[in-house]
A = this chain, B = another copy of it.
Amino acid sequence: MSEKNFHQHQHDISSAVINRLPRYYRYLRDLLDSGVQRINSAELSRIMGVTASQIRQDFNCFGGFGQQGYGYNIANLYENIGELLGVREGNTAIIVGCGNLGRALAPSRVFSKRGVTLEALFDISPHIVGGSCGGLVVKDMSELESYCNSYKPKIAVLCVPRFAAEETARRLVDAGIVGIWNFTNVEFTKEELGVPVENVHLGDTLMTLCYSLREEKEEEEKNA
């Protein structure tokens, strides 16, 4: 890969492409697990329901992952995309707010499958602090700063109630957190917090599902 290509490739990747990477990563993992060694864009396009053109364009944003006349080596491609997605970075995370969602995420493999180590849980409620979840004991929020100072966790999973969202987010950034996985109802931007944020709105997908349901229903009623 030439110096010229390196710069072209690694910079200004559109978010459309970046948002597709985790999906590629999942499908490649499955292929890997099923023992397939190589694949071409046409075959992958059939499996994933996207065009072969898009697949080749996407992979090419980052430089040659494939080989003409052969296709893509799955293990290699998986590794490369994992690299892009920071799987080898050794990222660490803490969960802040151990309500239902926080306690559901803590024992899940959502972190470890992606190279992220969940290292601590925090909550403010005396009923929850001291309890155990996913093999970790919930710490009191008052310990947050000293903990961050000692262990320098990278990612905070923000699962606090709405009213505490803003204050807690700022506190986390001040404590040295460099990325927020935000499950609160308040949206944050990188511009206001100074660190990358992913706002997750579970309910939004339920609503688009309900939109489709209504559409289907109206379609049926019209045909009846």
Residues of A within 8 A of B (CB): 18-19, 21-23, 25-26, 49, 84-87, 89, 91, 100-101, 103-105, 107-108, 110-111, 113-116, 154-155, 178-181, 185, 189-190, 195-198, 200-214, 216-217
**Residues of chain B within 8 A of A180, CB atoms compared:** 209
Q: Is the interface of A mostly helix, strand, loop or mixed?
A: helix
Contact status A198-B202, CB under 8 Å: no
Q: Given B18, B116, B212, which contacts A211 in the complex, CB threshold below 8 Å?
A: B18
**Residues of chain B within 8 A of A154, CB atoms compared:** 213
5 contacts between A and B (CB under 8 A): A18-B211, A21-B207, A116-B210, A154-B213, A178-B216
Contact status B206-A116, CB under 8 Å: yes
Q: Which residue of B lies closest to A109 (CB)?
A: B203
Contact status A208-B84, CB under 8 Å: no
Contact status A208-B114, CB under 8 Å: no
Query: Do A207 and B107 form a contact, CB below 8 Å, given A178-B216, A189-B49, A213-B179?
Result: no
Q: How many copies does the complex hold?
A: 2
**Residues of chain B within 8 A of A111, CB atoms compared:** 206
Q: Which residue of B lies closest to A159 (CB)?
A: B104
Contact status B214-A84, CB under 8 Å: yes
A85 to B213, CA, bound (A): 9
Contact status A91-B213, CB under 8 Å: yes
